[in-house]
Structure formats: C-alpha cells, structure tokens
Amino acid sequence: MTKMEQAFNLFDTYNKQDPSEIIWNGQPYPAEYFYAIKLYERVKDLAPQTGDALLLASRCQHIGRWEIARTAFPEGRVGYLKWRNELSKFHAHKATEILQSLNYETDIIARVNEIILKKKLTTDTEVQTMENALCLVFLQFQYDDLIKKQSPEKMISILQKTWAKMSTPGKQAAALLTYSETGKALLNKALEGLD
C-alpha cells in the first residue's frame, strides 16, 4: 500500500466505528464512513488533478464526528456554532495524529489541517473545493432526510445558505443532481429568493 492508501485505511477504520448507520441502495454503512467516501469521490470529481493534501482532507474531514454530540452544547445558533468549531478542531487533531503515525511530512499535515479548518474559505481554491463537495454530499445524501424534520420555511433558509457557500463549479454540479419532487420544489423556491 502507498502511504496515502495507508492513511485512507486508518481514516476508514476509525470512521467505521460510527454507531449510527445509513442505508443506501439497501446496504447499511456506518454513517461517517459512508459520507467520507462520498466526500472523497465528490472532491475527485470536482478537482481531478488535485494534490494529496485535499484528497487526504476529504477522507477525514468529519472523522469521529459522533464523538462530540450536538446535545453537549446549548440550543440555538450560538451553541451550534460552538459545536461546529469544537468538531473542526477535533477532526484536525485526529487527522494529525493519524498522519503523524505514518510519518507524513509536516507541510502536508499543516495543509490538511488548513483544509479541514476551512482557513481562507473563498480565497483558497482547495478549501472552496472542499466546501463545494460538502454541500453536494449534503444535497445528494442528506437533504431528503432533513426535509422530513424541518418546516418548508426552515428548509428554504438552509438551502439558500448552502447555495451561498458554493462557488460556480459547486452550483453547476448541484444543478445536475437528481432531486425528489419535494426536494426540487423547495430548491426552486429557495433559488427564486436569491439574486
């Protein structure tokens, strides 16, 4: 195995510990393992010539996410943002541990951390590619489940925020996704409200 394959193997093994499951095409998968694979695939689609750091980051962007529960933080936006901030630092720390165990170069590890922590979002092409990929994975694999839990008004707001996070390549890819009838109607309504 190459060093990158070893890293992927360690990331995947860790994420397979996720106690929550997703069923996709009739097959059960540990949720974070499934999303990590899909994020990696989406990054490769968006940036076929990308370097090692972005590929590594895509496979561990949310590593061990289940270990820090949303319920450990207060309700509301402030609590949500604090939770997300703590998660990002945890993901970066866990990725660093694994990459160091494989004797990865410090500059590669630092770059993986920058991408995971979304430093210089919108001005850093690789970080923006990651953001595009995250939004696309949400739209393709998590969107319909969220529709069942949120009001149409809340979903429209979520979709508008998601759309605003993406650059042109992300939006173009999002337009090509297949949506449920409800999902498509909500997305059309959300985009009507944008300039």
| pLDDT above 70 (res 99) | yes
pTM (two decimals) = 0.93
Nearest to 121 by CA among 113, 110, 129, 111: 129
**Mean pLDDT for the chain overall:** 94
180 DSSP 8-state letter: -
φ and ψ at 16, to 5 degrees? -70, -10
Domain regions of the chain by residue span = 1-117, 135-195
pLDDT score at 121: 83
List, for residues 66-90, the tens digit of each pLDDT value.
999 999 999 988 999 899 999 999 9
List, for residues 109-142, the tens digit of each pLDDT value.
999 999 999 998 878 999 999 999 999 999 999 9
How many of the other CB atoms lie within 10 Å of CB of 98? 22
**Burial zone of 116 (CB within 10 Å; 0-12 exposed, 13-18 middle, 19+ buried):** buried
Cα 170-171-174 angle, rounded to 5 deg: 85
